[in-house]
Chains A and B, each alone.
Chain A
Amino acid sequence: MSDQKKHDEIHGIVAYFDDVDSVMSAARKVRDAGYKKWDTYTPFPVHGIDEAMGTKPTILPWIVLGMGLTGLTCGLLLQWYTNAYDYVFLISGKPDWSLPANIPVTFEVVILFSAYTAFFAMLGLNKLPHLSNPLHKLPKFSRVTADRFAICVEAKDPNFDAGRVRAILGAETSELEDCPVDTSRAALPLWFHAVMALVTCATFIPLSLAVKGRFATSEKPRYHVWPDMDFQRKRKSQTGWEGFEDGRSMRLPVEGTIPRGELRDDFELYFGVAQGAPVPPHVTFDGGAMGGDNFQWLSSFPTAVVVDDAFLERGRERYGIYCGVCHGAQGNGLGAVALRAAAIDAEQWGWVSPKALQSDSAKAYTNGELFHIASNGISSMKGYGSQITPKDRWAIVAFIRAIQASQALEAAPADLPDGTDFEPVPTIKDVRLSEASVDAPAAGSEPAGEAR
């Protein structure tokens, strides 16, 4: 009965030893007595004690191997995803997915994963950190980390019998003591909890700031860490400056001069109007404001261009770059932008759908008008005069004419010459009716319209 009572009170029975031989010999005795919940405590790893205690080999190496292989996969995936999939860019002529160049980082990631695992799995398997241990309460036990050895058989062991344990250990050493159960565990001071709670909360501050920055909008300008790069001491274009008499920061050309390459004396080529007509002072498309009606849109092509296969090919290429994203590669108005606009119903904000170039109204324009639209824009389309050279704009006009001749929106035009390569093209109406996803027809029929 008294044994039973002790069982409830004590953590275990501790025996102390002075040298390796005696602790090894005692460990063998305890092992042979069939105890499970017991341990030897030594100031350094004693060679052979595992065998004396019957410790089974740890599974740690397998955990590390597993995590090493995980690291291998992660390292390769990281580099593949970032450089060959998500953000592909060409550098020094290397393939996007350059295995030889990825080996060093993969290797480092394997080592990093394995090393972290070796350390933290060691802590985990040993159930560390374990700051509150009843053994630390024993004054004598503190020398175990310096120069003494100990064995503790814990009361939790199913075979624990204090008398028998004392007998076994007592035969090996004269220094035995009971280790009382530690009752001070809950006695952490209140301030400690408060501080820890505060620290825990504080760790969320950076994260929440990042989340806020990611999702919230702000009307304040962004924060400039070092303003000298962002605000340089120079005048930007189209701003004022008191340093010049006229208060502009930019200079005007000297009166009576034309900058090199800016001479616009070929009206056909530059404006799409017949030579000799007055130049439209500023060009908008609603008739009256044009500065008089006494000019004539060119219906043919300017004399400065030669319409041949190469010119049409040039037009097809430029069209693909600048026009196709809205008007579609086939000119049917089904470019990626148009489809996207249709999908989000952009007309509610004033968006005007790009015209199908095969439509009758588009066909009705003269060449000069088409050129003018390409140069200066129409309704919600902007002008491309500043981006495309005049000859290229004419090439685009020629290409549009070719589309109109070879394609129609629904059925073949009656006046089609025999043998013409003709195919009907889908229109925006078809797309809406078929309730297809926005991407499906674009991916299938609009290779040039695929903009990212």
Chain B
Amino acid sequence: MTITDPSAFGSQPSGEDDPSVRLPLVEGAGENFSSVTDAVASIAELPVERTNRAWIICFAISVSLLGMLGLLILHLITTGVGVWGNNNPAYWGWPIVNFVFWVGIGHAGTLISAILFLTRQNWRTGVNRAAEAMTIFAVVCAGTFPGIHIGRVWVAYWLFPLPNQMAMWPNFRSPLLWDVFAVSTYATVSLLFWYMGMVPDLATFRDRAVNNTRRIAYGIFSLGWTGSSRHWHVYERAYLLLAALATPLVLSVHSVVSFDFAVSQLPGWHTTIFPPYFVAGAIFSGFAMVLTLMIPARQFFGLKHIITMRHIDVMCRILMATGLMVGYAYSIEFFVAWYGGVQYESFAFVNRAFGNYWWAYWIMVSCNVLIPQVFWSKKLRGNLWVVMIVSITTNIGMWFERFVIAVTSLTRDFVPSSWGYFSPTWVDITMFIGSFGLFFTLFLLFLRFLPVVAIAEVKTVLPQAHAHGEDHAESHSAGGSAAAPASRHDA
């Protein structure tokens, strides 16, 4: 059997059930470099007065919530952390829960941009830019909470190893300090990764700019990028290295977050599966948030042919897989709590499921483990309403997971005399809502003014992006050229 044209099995959009055929990543027969550029650039090039009304409404709401968050933070700083519900024995209440929640959401971006890049999951090109932006904004939200949790925010620099008037250094044996390093490294590397990926697209915007303000603004941030192949060569290598660095980083960040809990001796926190379990949970919640954001975005901004149903299908499957991993961790924890024979540990887990906070536990289990199982059905993966609802319940479930971990263990420790019950105050609740204002303000600005889709990367997965075999046989011996498109699609 001989197949003469390797691209034959790459581009024929015949029946999607045929495993020998890879569906095109960008839908629509007539897609080419120009149309992809237009589709993405036109969003940012829309004149201000013609901005989508839905965008304006969302933005207005987000900015008001952001303002509320600012006022609440002011209230917190001028009054003290007593405005929160954190009190003996639950000194870690909503702020830490919100912190872990947001950091977790921030994991999908780097996962999509780095791990899926390394594993050649080329479908990522449609969604990676937005997911990376989401990562950065989520990390900003996450950083806010420990930042204000320290009480005296004006000495927050004590968190870093800077010489200070007390001649003291931070304690590097504390996992909370590891967290400072992990989260700030993660924020930095994500920002570098996001910005570096955006440079060529900003150059595209610069070259399409119709007025000087845009030309100068995009021009400065695109650093004078010309699309030189010699630049691309170094650029691609740097991108690959950043991806290779970000992959262990993404594992390390939520592992370090889990160390905050797991190095302690508190029952329910001190268990060795925490690092991979937290990482799986983070990816789980991150993908849920990507879906929550991308489904409306593709609808409103006409990106349905770039962020296709196939993207959503794949992400649903990842959601289900990571949900199962989280479920695996829940069950192993329960089994070993009994198997280990430590009575405090067994009590902690029985208490989670049937104690004071049983409702939180069962919300967590149903949202994280049970509900995502609907994605076994291909039909339901294709129903955007179902996907939207499941992605939102997943986010709810993952928030409750952190709540269950932080609060049930703290309120039921070794000594019954120190048991308590945690109740959030109005500041706790409104601050959490306000953090969504911060997140969406940033995200909406991104959607409106920056390249939402990695234009250059999407172009590389178009069939036209590849030279044809018969034209340049000499390159084959060197082994350097022209992969069949299909090999670049999925691996």
Contact = CB atoms under 8 A, between A and B. Distances in A.
Given A20-B464, A47-B483, A126-B231, A118 B204 contact: no
B193 to A, nearest CB: 8
A131 B219 contact: yes
Interface stretch (B235-243, B313-321, B365-373): B235-243
Given A41-B226, A118-B241, A126 B472 contact: no
B185 A122 contact: no
A145 B467 contact: no
B27 interface: no
Given A61-B241, A122-B196, A146-B204, A105 B178 contact: yes
A45 B206 CA distance: 19
Contact of B178 (A42, A104, A146): A104
A126 B475 contact: no
Nearest to B170: A82
Interface stretch (B30-38, B281-289, B329-337): B30-38
A19 interface: yes
A130 B200 CA distance: 14
Contacts of B1: none
Given A43-B456, A53-B229, A79 B189 contact: no
A48 B482 contact: yes
Contact of B475 (A40, A52, A102, A122): A52
A50 B172 contact: no
Contact of B241 (A64, A98, A125): A64
Interface in B464-487: 464-468, 471-472, 474-475, 478, 480-483
A157 B416 CA distance: 82
A193 interface: no
Given A24-B472, A48-B480, A64-B241, A145 B234 contact: no
A116 B242 CA distance: 9
Interface in A135-149: 135-136, 142-147
Contacts of B33: 43-44, 146-147
Interface in A94-123: 94, 98, 101-102, 104-105, 107-109, 111-112, 114-116, 118-119, 121-123
B92 to A, nearest CB: 18
Contacts of A53: 229-230
B223 A21 contact: no
A24 B467 contact: yes
Interface in B191-216: 192-193, 196, 200, 203-204, 206-208
Contacts of B472: 21, 24-25, 28, 48, 52
Nearest to B202: A145
A381 interface: no
Contacts of A55: 229-230, 233
Say what secondary structure dominates the interface of chain B: helix
B234 A119 contact: no
A144 B37 CA distance: 11
A129 B224 contact: yes
A51 B246 CA distance: 28
Contacts of A107: 248, 252
Contact of A82 (B169, B185, B219, B467): B169
B464 A79 contact: no
B168 A21 contact: no
B466 A101 contact: no
B459 interface: yes
Interface string A369-393: 0000000000000000000000000
Interface residues of A, number: 73
Contact of A128 (B177, B185, B224, B242): B224
A47 B465 contact: yes
B177 A105 contact: yes
A51 B475 contact: yes
A415 interface: no
B173 A125 contact: no
B232 interface: yes
A145 B237 contact: no
Interface in A196-253: 225-226
A61 B474 CA distance: 28
Given A44-B456, A58-B233, A111 B228 contact: no
A111 B467 CA distance: 36
A51 B480 contact: yes
A41 B229 contact: yes
Given A58-B233, A121-B238, A122-B235, A39 B467 contact: no
B163 to A, nearest CB: 10
20 contacts: A21-B467, A28-B474, A39-B229, A45-B232, A46-B232, A47-B465, A48-B472, A51-B478, A55-B229, A58-B237, A60-B238, A82-B161, A108-B182, A108-B256, A111-B249, A119-B242, A126-B230, A128-B224, A129-B224, A132-B224
Given A44-B456, A46-B465, A79-B172, 9 more contacts: A43-B200, A45-B456, A46-B232, A55-B229, A61-B241, A78-B161, A105-B178, A128-B231, A145-B204
Interface of A: 19-21, 24-25, 27-28, 39-53, 55, 58, 60-61, 64, 78-79, 82-83, 86-87, 89, 91-92, 94, 98, 101-102, 104-105, 107-109, 111-112, 114-116, 118-119, 121-123, 125-126, 128-133, 135-136, 142-147, 225-226
Interface of B: 32-34, 37, 77-78, 152, 154, 161, 167-175, 177-178, 181-182, 185, 188-189, 192-193, 196, 200, 203-204, 206-208, 219-220, 223-238, 241-242, 245-246, 248-249, 252, 255-256, 259, 455-457, 459-460, 464-468, 471-472, 474-475, 478, 480-483
